[in-house]
Amino acid sequence: MKLPKFKNRKFFEQAFIHRSYLNETKEKLSSNERLEFLGDSVLSFVVSQHLHENYPKFDEGTLTNLRSLLVNTRTLAEVAKELNFGDLLKLSKGEEESKGRENISLLANCFEAFVGALFLDQGVTKVSDFLKDVLLSKTEMLLAQKVLKDPKSLLQEKIQAKKQISPSYKVLGEEGPAHRKVFTVGVYVEKSLLGKGTGKSKQEAEKNSAREALLKLRESG
C-alpha cells in the first residue's frame, strides 16, 4: 500500500527519526517522540470513534477490549511491518546492529508518530481514512478469532481446565528510559514458557504474552 502524500515533507521525515540517530548527525533534527505522543492520542480517538459508530450493540467493556487489541504494541508493529516502516527508520549504528528495524516497540512507536505527523499535516479526516485501510480493516478478523475476552482470563480458564493450576507471569526484560519503558513478559505453566509479549506497561505485556500462548495452544490443538 502507498503511504499518504504529505503537504509538509518535514512532518513525514520526522516520524521516522529515532532519538538514537540524533547523536550521529550534525543536522538540527528532532526525534519522533513528540509526534508519537500526539499520535497515540489521535489513534485512540479515531479507533474509539470507529468502534462506537460501527458496533452499536457492543457494551463499553467489549469496545474497550477491542480497541486494546487494535492499538496494542504487537498489532501496530505488524501494520508498520506491512508498510515497510522499518526500512524508513533513521537509527544510530548501535540500534542498527541490534536489529532496531525489526524491534516491535520501535515499529509501534514509529507508527504512532506517523499518525501524529499525518494529523498535523492534514487533519483527523485524513488520519481516519488511512487507519481504515491499514488498521481498522483488521477488526472483523479479530472478532472472528473470538479474542475479545480478556486473554489472561481466557488462558487461565484453559490451563485450569487441563491441569488445575494457574499460569504465572514473569518480567523478562525492560528497555528504554523511565518515561518510555518497554516491558517483556513471559507466561509460564509450572516451569514451561508458553508465550512472550511486550508492551508499554507490564499489564499490556502480560496480555500480549497470554495472547501468544493462546495462539500456540490453538495451533497445537
Q: What is the CATH number of the domain that holds 176?
A: 3.30.160.20
Q: Catalytic annotation on 87?
A: no
Residue 3 forms part of a structural domain: no
Task: Look at residue 90 and give its three-state secondary structure.
Answer: strand
156 and 190 in one domain?
yes
* Catalytic residue selected from 36, 112, 121, 206: 112
- Residue indicated by cell numbers 468502534: 51
Half-sphere exposure of 165 (CA within 13 A, CB side): 8
Contact 65, 148 (CB under 8 A): yes
* pLDDT of amino acid 82: 96
Across-strand partners of 197? 185
Q: 189 — alpha (psi -120 to 50), left (phi > 0) or beta? A: beta
Q: Please report the pLDDT score of residue 61 as a whole number.
A: 81
The reply to whether 131 and 52 lie within a common domain is yes
Residue 221 has pLDDT above 60, yes or no: no
Looking at residue 146, what is its pLDDT?
Answer: 61
Buried/exposed code over 68-85 (b: 16+ C-beta within 10 A; e: otherwise): bbbbbbbbbbbbbeebeb
pLDDT of residue 23: 86
- pLDDT of res. 91: 94
Poorest-confidence range of 83-97, 146-160, 173-187, 188-202?
146-160
As for how many domains the chain has, the answer is 2
- The mean predicted confidence, pLDDT, of the chain is 91
SS3 186: strand
Per-residue pLDDT for 187 more than 70? Answer: yes
Asked, for residue 2, whether it belongs to a domain, the answer is no
Which pLDDT score, from 0 to 100, does residue 74 have?
A: 86
Q: What is the mean pLDDT of residues 67-71?
A: 89
% pLDDT > 70, the chain? 96
β-strand partners of 171: 185
Asked if residue 172 and residue 74 are part of one domain, the reply reads no
Q: Is residue 167 part of a domain?
A: yes
- Measured CA to CA, the distance from residue 176 to residue 98 in angstroms comes to 14
- Is it the case that residue 10 has pLDDT exceeding 90? yes
Confidence of residue 212 (pLDDT cuts 50, 70, 90): confident
**pTM of the entire predicted model:** 0.75
Q: Which domain holds residue 75?
A: 9-144
Asked which of 126, 144, 162 is the last residue of a domain, the reply is 144
Clarify whether residues 74 and 36 are in a common domain. yes
